Amino acid sequence: MKRSISILAAIFLINVHSSGQSCSAIPDQFFVNDTIIVCQGNTYQLDAPVVAGCTYTWSTSEAGSTVMIMFNGRYILQIANSTCIKADTVTVLFNSFLLSPLVEDLKLCKGTTTQRPQATGQNILWYTTPLGGTASTAAPIPSTADTSTTTHWVSQTIRGCESPRVPLVVKVIDKPKFELGDAFIIPCDASGIVLQVIPDEESNYAWSNGSNDASIMAPTRGRYWLYAENMCGNHSDSVVAVECKDKCVQLPTAFTPNNDGKNDEYKAASFCPVPKYLLMIYNRNGEIVFQTKDPSAGWNGYFRGQPQPVGVYIFNVSFFDFVLKREFTEKGTIVLMR
């Protein structure tokens, strides 16, 4: 019975002593958010509400309405007056794992309508350097006037924290361009000549022999060609190879003008460019039955509108050999057969 009386007396004394202060003066919540994100590399001032006549006790053993936070953690604050004590907790996280935005390199064709590069994230910023510099909120507008490769640097900002910058490459390319050059001679006793181009790293290549490499071996006479394409277009070129004993112009010894679609004309086989050419064909009477300056033109076996008889005819040919860099004049006979 005495103990009960003592407890009641103590409660009565406390109520009398605290009649000048109210517990409601201390707010129930000290911090707006339960978790606060802070940018890595900074310090953060944690502020509590200021209540006159109260004492402040932090879990860091500091006193006062503010503390400086430098590390991740869960921080507890007690605010007390003579009437009561209230507490609140807040978690502070230094954001060291902020991801950079998602970017994708951009390829454009020379001379086409340009487009801005794209980045996926929040509050995107564009830079021209990996560190420092002035940020722009607008993506750059690349120029497609000429081929170029430009690197931009991109970050995102989340809750006031800026991510590391990531590179985004804008490349302006052109359709394939190359030349296989002039006709060439395969030296005697050589295994061939290497044909090659400098690949542009954007194109797919296909040679006449089925190879997709940047170079091939041309082992024998003939015409070799290369086709290339990329997203901007395509290009092809060819070159003629002759062997060391070949001439650009080769003439057959006979022809059969019988309209069967096979060997119906007498004409030269040209393996390379022929800038100068003259072919003249004579009958037994010394009459010129055919002449041309075009190596692709041929005699169909007619003279003055009449088919000529089977037999031997004489030819004279002169031409400039583009590969051997010499002028040749040759004379011989051909046989007309039906």
Kindly state whether residues 114 and 165 are assigned to the same domain: yes
From the list 91, 86, 1, 118, the residue with the least C-alpha distance to 37 is 91
pLDDT of residue 184: 83
User: Average pLDDT, whole number, for the chain?
Assistant: 88
Q: Which residues pair with 236 in a beta bridge?
A: 227
Task: Mark which of 173, 198, 231 sits at the end of a domain.
Answer: 173
Kindly state whether residues 228 and 253 are assigned to the same domain: no
Kindly report, residue by residue over 112-156, the tens digit of the pLDDT.
999 999 999 999 999 999 999 999 999 999 999 999 999 999 999
Kindly state whether residues 74 and 89 are assigned to the same domain: yes
pLDDT of residue 304: 95
Kindly state whether residues 205 and 234 are assigned to the same domain: yes
Kindly state whether residues 157 and 142 are assigned to the same domain: yes
Kindly state whether residues 226 and 154 are assigned to the same domain: no
Where residue 89 sits, what CATH number does that domain have? 2.60.40.10
Residue 18 has pLDDT above 70, yes or no: no
Kindly state whether residues 112 and 70 are assigned to the same domain: no
Kindly state whether residues 132 and 58 are assigned to the same domain: no
Give the separation between CA 73 and CA 70, rounded to whole angstroms: 9
Q: Which of 14-23, 154-163, 294-303, 325-334 has the lowest mean pLDDT?
A: 14-23
Predicted confidence band of residue 247 (pLDDT cuts 50, 70, 90): confident
Q: What is the 8-class DSSP label of residue 336?
A: E
| Torsion (CA) 260, 265, 267, 269 in degrees, nearest 10 | 0
Q: What token pair was written down for 127?
A: 């830079």
Task: Identify whether 16 is part of a domain.
Answer: no
Continuous H helices in the chain: 2-17
Q: How many domains does the chain have?
A: 4
| CB distance 274 to 295 below 8 Å | yes
Q: What is the 8-class DSSP label of residue 140?
A: P
| Torsion (CA) 309, 311, 314, 315 in degrees, nearest 10 | 70
Q: Which domain range does residue 144 map to?
A: 102-173
Output the DSSP codes for 65-132: SEEEE-S-EEEEEEEE-SS-EEEEEEEEEEE--PPPPEE--EEEETTSPP----EESSS-EEESSSSS
Residue 8 has pLDDT above 50, yes or no: no
Give the separation between CA 329 and CA 66, rounded to whole angstroms: 106
Kindly report, residue by residue over 22-62, the tens digit of the pLDDT.
788 999 999 999 998 888 777 899 999 999 999 999 999 99
Residue 42 C-alpha from the chain's centroid: 38
Q: Could you count the other beta carbons within 10 Å of the beta carbon of residue 11?
A: 10
What average pLDDT score do residues 88-97 get? 85
Kindly state whether residues 86 and 134 are assigned to the same domain: no
Task: Identify whether 295 is part of a domain.
Answer: yes
| CB distance 315 to 331 below 8 Å | yes
Task: Identify whether 3 is part of a domain.
Answer: no
Task: Mark which of 95, 119, 144 sits at the end of a domain.
Answer: 95
CB burial readout 97-110, b (16+ within 10 A) else e: ebebbebeebebbb
Kindly state whether residues 126 and 77 are assigned to the same domain: no
Predicted confidence band of residue 11 (pLDDT cuts 50, 70, 90): very low
Predicted confidence band of residue 190 (pLDDT cuts 50, 70, 90): confident
Task: Identify whether 300 is part of a domain.
Answer: yes
Task: Identify whether 253 is part of a domain.
Answer: yes
Task: Identify whether 2 is part of a domain.
Answer: no
| Torsion (CA) 272, 278, 281, 285 in degrees, nearest 10 | -160
Kindly state whether residues 259 and 305 are assigned to the same domain: yes
pLDDT of residue 4: 35
Q: What is the 8-class DSSP label of residue 25?
A: G
Task: Identify whether 312 is part of a domain.
Answer: yes
Task: Identify whether 326 is part of a domain.
Answer: yes
Task: Mark which of 173, 201, 220 sits at the end of a domain.
Answer: 173
Predicted confidence band of residue 96 (pLDDT cuts 50, 70, 90): low
Kindly report, residue by residue over 268-291, the tens digit of the pLDDT.
988 777 889 999 999 999 999 999
Kindly state whether residues 266 and 324 are assigned to the same domain: yes
Give the separation between CA 247 and CA 323, rounded to whole angstroms: 8
Predicted confidence band of residue 17 (pLDDT cuts 50, 70, 90): very low
